[in-house]
Amino acid sequence: MANMRVLQPRRKGHFWTTESKLAFLFLLPATIYLLAFMIYPILNVIIMSTYQTSKMAKMLKFTGFTNYWNLFQRKDFWQVMLRSIYWTGLAVAVKTVFGMVIALLLNVKYTGRKVARTLIIIPWASSIPISSLLWTWVYHPEFGLLNYTLKVTGIWKNPPVWLGAPASAFFSVIWVDIWIGIPFMTLVFLAGMQSISQDLYEAAEVDGANALKRFIYVTLPGLRDVLLIATLLSTLWTFNDFNTIYIITEGGPANSTHILITYIYENTFHFLKWNYGAVMAVITFIILSIIAWIYSRVYFRRET
C-alpha cells in the first residue's frame, strides 16, 4: 500500500471540485443528522449542566460549576459511581472468560457444532428488555422457574429471594447482563480463533506444546487485538446497560443496584432534577469518550 502511494503522483486537492461537490452532497444528510440528533443534544446537555433548571427542563439561571460541586458532595453519587465501575469491571471480566471458554469449545470439531453455535446466539439475538422481563419472572420468589427448580430438585430447600436483598439483587442483575453479553464475546473470539493459521498450531504441536501451552502461546497472542476490541466494546455497552437494571430492579432494593446510567434516569425523569441529570450525563460522556478513544486507537492501529 505504502509503495503504491509513492508511485502515484500527488494530486493537487481542491475543496470544491465537481467530484467533491457530489461527495459533500452525499455527506450532507448524515452531517445534518449528526448535528441535529447528536452534536446539538450533547452541547445542550453540557450547557444544561451549568444551569439551574425548572422541573420541565427550562434553563433558568447560569450557575457555572455549582451543580458539579454539589453533586460531588453527595455520598450517594460516589456510591453509584463506584458501583458502576465495579459492575462494569466484573461483568466484562466474566463475559470475557465465559466467552473465551465457549469459543474454545465451539472451535473444536464435533457433531452438532453448528447447532451449538446457533443456540449460543439466542440471548444476544433476543431483545434486551424482553430478556430482562423474562429473568424478572425467572427470579420471582413465588412463580419463578429458578426457585421452583431449586426446591423441586432438592438442591436448595429454602432458596433466597434473589431480588429482595442488596447483594443477591446485584449479583442476580449482573448475571442477566452477563448472560446477554456472553454470545457477543463468544462470536468475536470464535471469529478471531478461526483466523489463526492452523500451521502455527501444528508447529507448536511438533515442538511438543500441550493444549494449555498452545492456548497461551498461539491462541492468546493471535487474539490480542480481538480481545482488546471486544472487551472495550463490552465495557462501553456494560457501563451503559440501562435496560437490564431498570427493568429487573429499578435500582432497588434501597438503591443497591443503581449504576450511573440508571441514576441519571431516576434523577432526570423521576425527580425532575435535569441539571444533576445533565452533570452525570456529562461525566458519563467523558468516561465513555475516553474508552471510545482507546478503542479507536486500537482499532485503527490494527487496520494499518
Partner 1 sequence: MRSKLFLAVLAVFLFVPLMVAAEGKAAKEEAKVTFFWALYDGLTEEFRAEIEDDFNATYDDMKVEIVPIAWNLMYDKITTAVAGGAPPELCVIGTRWILDFMESDAIEAVTKYVSEKTINNIAPGAMEAKIGGELMGLPVAAGARILAYNADISDKAPKTMEELRQLAIKVTNPPDTYGLIMPGKKFTELTDFAYYLYAAGGDFFEMEPDGSYGKSAFNGPEGVKALEFMVQLATKDKVVQEGYLSLDRMNSHPVFYTGKVAYCFIGAWVESAYNQAGATFDLKYGQIPPFRGDDGKTLIITDSIALFKDAKNKEAAGKFLDFFYQDKYKAKFDELIGFPPVTISAGKLPQFQTPLYKTLIDAALRAKGWPLMAGFDEITAIIWDANVEAFLGKKTPKKALDDAAAKIDAMRGM
Q: Footprint of partner 1 on this chain (CB under 8 A)?
A: 18-19, 21-22, 25-26, 28-29, 54-58, 136, 139-143, 161-166, 169, 249-250, 252-255, 266, 269-272, 274
- Provide the β-strand partners of residue 62: 51
Cβ proximity to partner 1: between 226 and 248 the closer is 248
Cβ proximity to partner 1: between 54 and 289 the closer is 54
Cβ proximity to partner 1: between 272 and 290 the closer is 272
Residue 114 corresponds to which cell in the numbers above?
453448528
Residue 123 corresponds to which cell in the numbers above?
440471548
- Rounded CA-CA distance 217/164 in Å is 45
Least gap, CB of 22 to partner 1 (angstroms) = 6
- Segment (H or E) for 59: strand 59-62
Least gap, CB of 164 to partner 1 (angstroms) = 3
Tell me, what amino acid is at 113?
R
Residue 256 corresponds to which cell in the numbers above?
443497591
Residue 43 corresponds to which cell in the numbers above?
452541547
Least gap, CB of 60 to partner 1 (angstroms) = 11
Tell me, what amino acid is at 58?
K
Among all chains, which residue has been given the C-alpha cell 430447600? 157
Least gap, CB of 233 to partner 1 (angstroms) = 29
Least gap, CB of 263 to partner 1 (angstroms) = 12
Cβ proximity to partner 1: between 56 and 286 the closer is 56
Cβ proximity to partner 1: between 117 and 140 the closer is 140
Q: Are 218 and 180 in contact (CB under 8 A)?
A: no
Evaluated on CA atoms 264, 66, 287, 300, the torsion sign reads positive
